[in-house]
Structures are given as C-alpha cells and as structure tokens.
Amino acid sequence: MPTAYDVVVIGAGTGGYVAAIRASQLGKKVAVVEKQKALGGTCLIWGCIPTKALLEHAHALKVIREAREWGVMIPYGAPAIDMKQVQARKDKIVGGLTKGVEFLFKKNKIDWIKGTARLKGRGKVEVFEGDRQTLDAREIIVATGSSPRSVPAVQIDHQRIITSDEAIHLKAVPKSLVIMGSGAVGVEFASIYRRFGSEVTIIELLPRLVPVEDEAVSAELEKSFKKQGITVLTGTKVTSASASADGVTIEAQSADGKSHAISAELLLVATGRGPVTTGLGAEELGIAMENGYIKVDEMYRTSVPNVSAIGDVITLGAGVHPQLAHVSSMEGVIVAERLAGKDVQPLNYDHVPGCTYCDPEIGSVGLTESEARQRGYDVRVGQFPFGVLGRAKMAGESEGFVKIVADAGTDRVLGVHIVHAHASDLIQEGVTVMEFKGASEDIARICHGHPTLSEAVREAALAVDKRTLNA
C-alpha cells in the first residue's frame, strides 16, 4: 500500500520547505521529495547563500585593503585572498543552514523522502530514483525550481564556459572573467571576482546594466563598476564562444554592428534560469504549461485539481514572475494556508522587494519611473544622495542614492529604488509603506534616527515635495 499524506511537496527549496513547514504547523501530514543530498534547494546550496558568503569575503578584502585609511596598520605585506579558506568558510555556512532546515523538518514531523519524483495519476507521486516508492497525496505542491540556462550561440562545458553553479566553487581566482548577462547573477559575480583580483568584463545585450531596474539605478551602477575597473559592454550580443585548454574566445557584436573578439580564462553565462519540469510528468497528467513553466492562477492552482505549483517553476500568465527566494517562500505559505482552509489573499507582486547584492547593492520595490509613466501616472520624483550623510561618510560607503517615485495627485508611493552598500536592508521601509498604501509625506513625517543611513529614505521623501533639509 502506498504511504498516504495530506500534502506531498516535490522539491525542498525555499518554496517547498517553507510550504511543508507551514502545512505541518496547520495540522497536515506532510512529506517532501528531494533528490539532493541536502535540503534548501538552489538558494541555500548554489544561489543566495553561497554567493552572498563570497560577497562578504569580497567586502572584507575591500575593507582590509583600505586599512591604512582607517588607521589600521597591517605590517606583513599586501592582503591577499585565500580561496581555499574562502571556500571552506562558505561551505561551512551553507552546511549549517541546510542542517538547520533538516532540523526544522524533524521538529515539524515532516518526512524527507530522498529521491526524484514524478506525477503519476491523480493524487499519486512516484519516487523513481533513490528511495523508490509511490505516495498517495490529497494535495500535491510542485516546487521544483529552476536551473541555469544558456543561449543558442554558447555551449556550456562547465570547465571554461561555466554557470553560477560552477562559479561558486572556483578553487582559484581566474586572471580574467567575461560575464554574459547583467542581471542579479551577473553583476554579483562581477563584484565578487573583480574584488578578488580578476579582470572582469560584463556583456549585456540590452542598452544598460540591470535592465529591470530604474534607469537611474543602472547608470549609477555602471559608473561605480567602471570606477572599480570592470569593463562594461552594453548593447552587445555574444555571437559565439569557443573553449580551449587555455581559455575562451568570445565573438561579440556591438550595437553599431561591429564585431570583435574577447579572450578570457573563463566565460560565466548568466543569461537567466529556466524551469525544472523535465521528467516531472506534468504534461502527461494534463497540467497546462507555457514554455516549460507550469501555468497557475493567483492562488497557485494548476489546471489539474489538487495540484498546486510555486516558485521559479511557475508562470502566472501575465507579466514576468520574479524568480526570488522570498517570493517562493511567500507563495508556499499562501498555498499551505489555502489548503488548510484559511482565508488567504493573492501576493501583490508590485510590493515584492528586489535585492541585488553587487557592490554597491541594489534594493528596489514597485514601479520604476518609466513604468509608472507607462501605466498612466503623473509622477513626482524625489532623489537623495548618501554622500552627504554623516553615517555614510563614517562607514566609507557614500556611493549611491535613494529615489522615490510617487503619484503626483495622491502622493502615494509607487516605487522606491536604492543604490548603496546596504540597499538590501534599507529597502524594507519602502516595502512596508507601499503595502499600507502610504504616501511620501508619511515617510517624511516619520522621525528617523540620526546618524543613520535610513535618513536618506526620509530625505528622498522630502525631495518629492522639493524640501530636502540636507542637500
């Protein structure tokens, strides 16, 4: 007899494991099928956590190199990076967090079934690799996530032409690195390896870096990258890449049609991620798909009853679904609570923060200035630089700004965009204000501590009404 569960989750990433925990909290008998050796999925094992650990090492190296300015003397020569120790510390952090998820499974009495799953008839999940068995489930949640993808002109060999999965495990700092794509993955690895000492070139097909961000944010990041010695080639298409024992030769075509060759030790392909649905059996079960993604409604129901899907593997049919760990987790909570009969509301994707951990960081929520105008808003904009704040000067982190986009008629905040070393921490104030339908005047009338970096948020709100106090 198959083992019966109230809920079976396929995939133990940030969507799957959070959905499982919340369902268990609500009294459901839950199992999670996960084929990896550890729990946590892309975020904990290959994505968010290891990359941010590497970025913290890069930041530490930056501070140490500037030690003399801080009055700290290092008597034994120039500081250097030890990749063996970097990787060991990164792996220790990842291991601790994945073990933490395993503990949470035990605490919440969730069964971890180690293997690969596929959908096999309504209410049945077949584990066909690993701990082979068939599970009966009243409800199934698909949370299989995504994996790096390439483009037709580039063949990834995982040696010279690599993805982020390999980039987090490099045992040595490459002398030169070309990065194809300037989304979050691309600009984060550009920051890491430039700080470690690589000659970095970043190639972007579109006219500007981080093209989903506000145009002012893109311009500020490009300025900073060039200052750091990162070569930026926007409006440039990679037409081919060939690997050899010594490195990679990349053929690229600029916007004016001119072609040129670039040589590097490694090429990192960071052109996005695709859904993991191959072998899942979704189409055979009759689940509606779109370009490999599982189509869901606003409550994450698929076209097949009692089967839900969340995270990077889904499409909502309108707009771009953000492939973010915190989005997957929120979707997992919503599904678990819906299955338990709770009154749940759809997630407002306009209020989801985007955090990019390059140097300087980017934090954003809501509409960019151009998006707001495209939606028909008459907008007012307030922008304030960190460079005049005492706290930013003390920290030696004066690059960047806060930009607030507001509706000119109602003053309601439509978007907040931050470039700064601590943008990912500062953006949450904007998220909270927007979730409660706040206005820039609401931010302006809240007393912010001094000296703090958050003062820049208030000053940007004051700038919407052209009454900044410190610039």
Sort 159 into a burial class: Cβ within 10 Å, 0-12 / 13-18 / 19+. Answer: exposed
Tokens of 234: 């926007």
Q: What is d(CA 372, CA 434) in angstroms, rounded to the nearest whole number?
A: 14
The residue annotated as part of the active site, out of 57, 158, 420, 450, is 450
Type of residue found at 121: G
Catalytic residue list contains 158: no
Torsion sign across C-alpha atoms 55, 57, 63, 66: negative
**383: number of CA atoms within 13 Å, CB side?**
15
CB distance 198 to 173 below 8 Å:
yes
**Closest Cα partner for 11 from 97, 91, 93, 101?**
101
Q: What is d(CA 209, CA 215) in angstroms, rounded to the nearest whole number?
A: 9
Q: What is d(CA 224, CA 210) in angstroms, rounded to the nearest whole number?
A: 13
Cis peptide before 451 (omega within 30 of 0): yes
Catalytic positions are 450
